[in-house]
Amino acid sequence: MDHPDLEPLRRRLEEEEKAYAEALAALDRLGALEAAGEETSPVAAELAELNALWPAPPRPEASGLGGALRSRAWDALRPAIERQERFNAALVRLLNAHLGRTAGLVSGLRELAGALVRYAQRVEPVMDARDQARVATAPTEAQVQIDAFSRRLEAMRERVEGLLALRDRLEAVAEEVRAVRGSLEASAPPPEVARAAVESAAGSVYTAFENRFRGSREEIRARQRNDVALFAGLAPVVDLGCGRGEFLELLREAGIEGRGVEGNANVVRECREKGLDVVAGDLVEFLRAQVPASLGGVFAAQVVEHLPPPSLGALLGEAHRALRKGGLLVLETVNAASALAFHEVFVRDLTHERPLHPETLRFMAAAAGFAEARIDMRSPVPDDVRLALLPSGVLAPPATKVINENAARLNALLFAPLDYALLARR
């Protein structure tokens, strides 16, 4: 589509093309000039006559004294004079023709030089005009392409979001079906079966949520494997909120007696099917029912952030009572001191009660009576996500140190490790 602002540029282009044609015509006229000596040139005839007069005519034959005198006189005067006159005239004409031809060549060269100079002076402006035309049309053409791409991208995004929503729904429904099926297969009276089915269906959605965002069984096992060594020689170990039983499986593989407690009936049944010792119930009540100093270890991963402060305080107190001397309490949770962890992990889960700062949890453990409590930072943020530091050294400018110090402060605030664990000794 024509744009009114481009019309002056188009006219300018037409003028420059006309100037270019004039320069070519001047070159053509210069090429049409004939060189001296060519058959069609006027100089050629003069040159031929001059060449013909150059040889001397033959001497006349005569007998006697008179003939001898005539021959001598002819030889001496007349022929020489005639030839000289003709030669001189031809030479003058040749020179005149040559001068005229030279003048024509010079005029043509001057015309060509002028045309080339004028055109050269216009080359740069015309290139600028063409560039301006391209610049003027490029945004319009690019915008059309961008708009088309944006529409396709938006349609694709809507389709992907629809597929993701369908995937989430299918996962939730699958967990719900598994929960209801497991409840119906139990040999309980019909009212109990119905109640169990309702409770299982209610917990299945959160089970699907954990499957998606917390990680696969293999990922959880890999994260918790190092914690098993902490409980060596401390059996029995209780896993509070054991979930799918990954840590209990690791304890069993290490030969450490372990028992779990879980409030989600779905995963309790799943753990029992694997032969794990898991009971359904409230975590604090479970600890309260334990004999004092009967446990060697208490473990809870991603659990305490789900508890309100009174329940968390009660859990710490009951864990201290149930652990024997030298027993270990390990509580892993989201690092509230990391802005990335808070916004990407904590607020995503609606069942999280409140974030727990590492120092807050350590203080509460000490207040509950634990003699030793320390914080172990976990799940560090990859370097390619953190703010990069500038190269430093002897030749680095002074501002580099200041920039790096500020970047380090921001990294500590924004990109601190995503998780931490409280390790408290009885």
pLDDT in tens, the chain (426 residues): 556 667 777 788 788 778 877 777 776 676 665 555 555 556 666 666 666 665 555 555 666 666 677 677 766 766 666 777 677 677 767 766 776 777 677 677 767 766 776 776 666 666 666 666 666 665 666 677 777 777 777 777 666 665 555 555 555 555 555 555 555 555 555 555 445 445 544 554 555 555 555 677 888 899 999 999 999 999 999 999 999 999 999 999 999 999 999 998 888 998 999 999 999 999 999 999 999 999 999 999 999 999 999 999 999 999 999 999 999 999 999 999 999 988 888 888 888 888 899 999 999 999 999 989 999 999 999 998 999 988 877 667 888 888 988 999 999 999 999 999 999 999
pTM for the model stands at 0.53
Q: What is the pLDDT of residue 281?
A: 94
Max CA-CA distance within the chain?
Answer: 176
CA-CA distance, 193 to 183, in Å (whole number)?
A: 6
CA-CA distance, 111 to 28, in Å (whole number)?
A: 11
Q: What is the pLDDT of residue 163?
A: 55
Residue found by looking up tokens 């003939």 in the block: 67
Output the CA torsion 219→222→226→227 (10° steps). 40
Q: What is the pLDDT of residue 193?
A: 47
Q: What is the pLDDT of residue 151?
A: 77
CA-CA distance, 175 to 212, in Å (whole number)?
A: 12
Q: What is the pLDDT of residue 91?
A: 72
Concatenated DSSP letters of 176-193: HHHHHHHHHHS---HHHH
* Cα 110 from chain centre: 59
